[in-house]
Structure 1
Amino acid sequence: MALLQYIAIEVGQDTEAWFGFAGTPGYLSPEVLKKDPYGKPVDIWACGVILYILLVGYPPFWDEDQHRLYAQIKAGAYDYPSPEWDTVTPEAKSLIDSMLTVNPKKRITADQALKVPWICNRERVASVMHRQDTVDCLKKFNARRKLKVLLSKSQ
C-alpha cells in the first residue's frame, strides 16, 4: 500500500512519456518490452507483480529463457494455480488483474488502486497457514534462482 501511495503522490504529476529499457526482467511491463513510450502505468504493473509474489511466494511470469519470459509478459499470460491461490480472495485476484492489464491505458491507476475495497477494508487477514505457505514458496523460488546464477557462473 505504501508503494501505491508513493506512486500516487510523488509520480502523480508526471505526465511525460519515458523511453529506454531498464528494470528487472520479471517486473518489466509490456510497453517497456515493446519499446513503446511509457509512463506511470509501468510502476502499477511492477506493483502487480510484487503483490502476486507477496501473496503466493513466486512471480506471475517466469521462464528460464528470457525470450519466452518476455513473450509471457507481452501477452499478459499468467494464472492462479492451485493450491497456492485457493485461499486468496477473488478481490485480491481482481486487483492483480487490474494492475497486470496489458494495455496501459486500461490499467488501474495508483489512486484507483488505493480505493479498492481489498486495500481499504482489511478486516480479513490471511491465515497463518497461508502466510507460511507463501514464505515456503518464496524460499523455494529464491533457491532455484540462486542455483541458476551459480550454474551460469560455472560455465
Structure 2
Amino acid sequence: AVVGTSYWMAPELCTKTPYGPKVDIWALGIMEMLEGEPPYFDQSPDKARHVIATRGTPKLQDPRQWSALLHDYLNCCLEVEVDGRWSAEELLQHPFLTSVKPLSSLALLIAAAKE
C-alpha cells in the first residue's frame, strides 16, 4: 500500500515501485519552504502524483533568486533515480550545509529584528 501525501511523494511511491529510506530525502527536498507551498499544489492529489511520476524533478518558480549551492543541494535531494539520490549522511556533508555559519551568528539578527 502507498502511504503518504501526494504533494510530497517521491516518484517511486507514485509509480508504486519498491522504495526505501530515500523517499524521505525526496520529501525533504520538496521546495515548500522556499516557495510557500509544495510543487503542483494547484493540482488535485491524483494529478500531482501523475505529474511527479512522469515529469520528474520539479522546478523552482524563480530559480535566479537562489544560489548555485542551494540548486545543487536540491538536485541531490530530488534525483529521480533512487541510486543517484543522496542519503541523509551524504547530504549532511554537502557544502550547502557545511558552509553555513553557526546558529549563534543569528543572535544579532534576531535582536535587530526585535527592535
TM-score calculated relative to the size of structure 2: 0.77
Cα separation, 2, equivalents of 1:77 and 1:121: 25
Cα separation, 2, equivalents of 1:110 and 1:63: 29
Aligned pair partner of 1:116 in 69, 87, 94? 94
Matched length: 102
Cα separation, 2, equivalents of 1:118 and 1:41: 19
Q: Secondary structure at the match of 1:95?
A: helix
> What is the root-mean-square deviation in Å for CA atoms of aligned residues?
2.0
Q: In the alignment, is residue 72 of structure 1 matched against residue 51 of structure 2?
A: yes
Gaps of 5+ in 2: 110-115
Gaps of 5+ in 1: 1-19, 129-155
- The alpha-carbon deviation at position 67 of structure 1 amounts to 3.1
Q: Secondary structure at the match of 1:105?
A: helix
The one-letter code sitting in structure 2 at the alignment partner of 1:112 is E
Alignment check: 8 A CA contact 1:114 1:120 kept: yes
The one-letter code sitting in structure 2 at the alignment partner of 1:86 is R
* Runs ≥4 residues deviating over 6 A: none
TM-score calculated relative to the size of structure 1: 0.59
Q: In the alignment, is residue 45 of structure 1 matched against residue 26 of structure 2?
A: yes
Q: In the alignment, is residue 102 of structure 1 matched against residue 99 of structure 2?
A: no
Q: In the alignment, is residue 92 of structure 1 matched against residue 73 of structure 2?
A: no
- The alpha-carbon deviation at position 60 of structure 1 amounts to 2.6
Q: In the alignment, is residue 34 of structure 1 matched against residue 12 of structure 2?
A: no
Percent of aligned pairs with the same amino acid: 26
Instruction: Flag the 1:59–1:30 CA change in 2: closer, same or farther, 3 A.
Output: same
Alignment check: 8 A CA contact 1:48 1:100 kept: yes
The corresponding residue for 2:4 is: 23
